[in-house]
Amino acid sequence: MSRKITIKALKFNPNSKISKPHFAQYELEETAGMTLFIALTMIREKFDADLSFDFVCRAGICGSCGMMVNGVPKLACRTLTKDYPDGVIQLMPMPAFKLIKDLSVDTGNWMNEMSKRVESWIHSKEKTDISKIEKRIEPEVAQETFELDRCIECGICVAACGTKLMRPNFVGAVGLNRVARFRIDPLDERTDEDFYELIGDDDGVFGCMSLLACEDNCPKHLPLQSKIAYMRRKLVALR
C-alpha cells in the first residue's frame, strides 16, 4: 500500500542578499520503487520549480546527486524512500564543498584541484609510440588499478570524513585513493619520495584518523581504508 512521505529540503541561495537558510517541507504520495531522485523530480515538477539539486545519469554512475540524507551522505538516485520507515526524510547539501544553491554543491572544481594537487596522471619519461604494442602488465596488477579507477568522484567520502571537516585542506580519501592507484601502476615511474612530497603530511595520508566513514559510505564500495593504510605503510618508512 502507498503512504504519504515528507521531504524536508534545505533551501538557501548564497548569491541572494535576501535568501536565508530554511527547510521547505513537501508531502508526497510514495510510489513503488521510489528513489529520492524521483521524489525530488516530482517536487520540482509539481510543487517547487525553484528547488535546486544535481543529477545526470540516474544510475549511480555519474556521482552528481550526492547530498546529506538524514545526516548521512548518499546518492539520491540510489536511495529508496521505503528505507525510511517513519516516512520523514531531511535533505541537506554536502559539507566541505562550495554551496551553489539548495542541495547543489560544487564538487567539480574541488575534484579538479585535488587531481592537480596529487598530480593525477602517469609520470613517465618514455614517449608513447602508438605503432607498437602496449607494454604488458600482469592481469592482477591491471585489475587492481582498474578497481581504484571505479571512483565516480561523487564527493561522498569527503562529506563523510571527520578529518576533512576539521582540516579544510585535507586531500580526502578520494585523493589518497588516486595516489594509491598510480603507486600501484607499473607505468608510473614516480618513487615513494615523490609521493611523499605530495601527501606525506597531516593534510595527506598522515592526517587520516581511520574513522572508516569514507569506506562505509562509498557507493562504489571501494577499498579506501586499505589503500590509505597501504600508502601510509609505504611512506612512513621515509620519515
194-226 pLDDT per residue, tens: 999 999 999 999 999 999 999 999 999 999 999
Q: What does DSSP say about strands 72-75 and 88-92: parallel, antiparallel, or unpaired? A: unpaired
- Give the span between the Cα atoms of 194 and 219, in whole angstroms: 30
Q: Give which of 43, 73, 88 is closest to 213, Cα–Cα.
A: 73
Confidence label for 133 from pLDDT (cuts 50, 70 and 90)? confident
DSSP state of 162: H
Contact 12, 20 (CB under 8 A): yes
State the SS3 of 3-66. Answer: CEEEEEEEECCCCCCCCCCEEEEEEEECCCCCEHHHHHHHHHHHCCCCCCCCCCCCCCCCCCCE
Phi, psi of 225 (to 5 degrees): -65, -40
**SS3 helix, strand, coil % of the chain, rounded to 5?**
35, 15, 50
Contact 120, 182 (CB under 8 A): yes
Domain spans in the chain, listed from the N-terminal domain onward: 4-105, 118-124+136-236
| Percentage of the chain modeled with pLDDT above 70 | 100
Work out the number of other CB atoms within 10 angstroms of the CB of residue 130: 5
- Give the span between the Cα atoms of 72 and 209, in whole angstroms: 19
Please give the mean pLDDT across all residues of the chain: 95
Cell of 149: 579507477
Write the pLDDT tens digit of every residue in 59-84. Answer: 899 999 999 999 999 999 999 999 99
Residue 129: its pLDDT value, please?
A: 84
Beta strands per DSSP E along the chain: 4-11, 22-29, 66-69, 72-75, 88-92, 98-101, 104-106
Cell of 231: 600508502
Write the pLDDT tens digit of every residue in 156-199. Answer: 999 999 999 999 999 999 999 999 999 999 999 999 999 999 99
Contact 49, 10 (CB under 8 A): no
**118-124+136-236: CATH class:** mainly alpha
Cell of 170: 585535507
- Give the span between the Cα atoms of 178 and 159, in whole angstroms: 17
Q: CA-based angle 112:113:118, to the nearest 5?
A: 100
Confidence label for 95 from pLDDT (cuts 50, 70 and 90)? very high
Q: What is the pTM of this model?
A: 0.92
- Answer whether 4-105 and 118-124+136-236 agree in fold: no
Residue 79: its pLDDT value, please?
A: 97
Per the CATH hierarchy, to which homologous superfamily does domain 4-105 belong? Answer: Beta-grasp domain (3.10.20.30)
